[in-house]
Amino acid sequence: MAYRWSWSWGSEPAVLLQSDMGFAFNNTNSNTFEPRTTEQYKPTGAPTKYSMASDALDEMQIPVAATAGMDQGVISAALKTTVGSYTAGISLIRVTGTSGRGIYIQISTGGALRLYVDNVLKATAAVATDFLTWKFLALHFDMSANPWKGRVVLDGVELIPEFTDARAADTVAAVLFDSPVNSDRAWYNGQIIVQDAYADASPPRYVTRISPDADVSTVGTWTPTTGTDHASTGVDPFNAATNTTEATPTVGDEVITNYTGDLTAKLGGVPGSVDLVTVHSYSTGAANTARAEVGDAAGATTTVGATTLIGSDTTYAYASAPTKPSGGAWAATDTPKCKYEVVSV
Residue-wise pLDDT tens digits, 174-192: 999 999 999 999 999 999 9
Element at 152 (helix H, strand E): strand 148-154
Distance of CA 76 to the CA centre of its chain: 9
**pLDDT value at 38 more than 70:** yes
Is beta strand 51-54 parallel, antiparallel or unpaired with respect to 187-195? Answer: antiparallel
Question: What does pLDDT average to over the chain?
Answer: 97
Rounded to an integer, the average pLDDT of 207-227 is: 97
Rounded to an integer, the average pLDDT of 120-144 is: 98
DSSP for 96-109, please give it. EETTS-EEEEEE-T
Nearest-angstrom CA–CA distance, 259 and 273: 19
Distance of CA 342 to the CA centre of its chain: 24
- pLDDT score of 262: 98
- pLDDT score of 1: 61
User: In the structure, what pLDDT confidence band is assigned to residue 287 with cuts at 50, 70 and 90?
Assistant: confident
Please provide residue 337's backbone torsions phi and psi, each rounded to the nearest 5 degrees: -120, 140
DSSP state letter for 181:
-
**pLDDT value at 88 more than 80:** yes
Its pTM stands at 0.98
Residue-wise pLDDT tens digits, 1-27: 699 999 999 999 999 999 999 999 999
Are the C-beta atoms of residues 340 and 233 closer than 8 Å to each other? yes
- pLDDT score of 56: 84
**pLDDT value at 286 more than 90:** no
**pLDDT value at 167 more than 70:** yes
Maximum CA pair distance of the chain?
Answer: 62
Give burial (CB, 10 Å; 0-12/13-18/19+) of 128: middle
**pLDDT value at 225 more than 90:** yes
**pLDDT value at 302 more than 90:** yes
Q: Please, what CATH class does the domain formed by 3-195 belong to?
A: mainly beta
**pLDDT value at 282 more than 90:** yes
Residue-wise pLDDT tens digits, 103-112: 999 999 999 9
Rounded to an integer, the average pLDDT of 121-139 is: 97
Please provide residue 209's backbone torsions phi and psi, each rounded to the nearest 5 degrees: -100, 125
Of 37-41, 90-94, 286-290, minimum mean pLDDT range: 286-290
Nearest-angstrom CA–CA distance, 89 and 291: 39
CA dihedral of residues 264, 194, 4, 143 (deg, nearest 10) = 160
**pLDDT value at 139 more than 80:** yes
- The total of other beta-carbon atoms located within 10 Å of residue 297's CB is 15
Return all residues near 202 (Cβ < 8 A) that are at least 6 apart: 74, 76, 138, 140, 153, 156, 195
- pLDDT score of 309: 97
**pLDDT value at 57 more than 90:** no
**pLDDT value at 48 more than 90:** yes
**pLDDT value at 221 more than 70:** yes
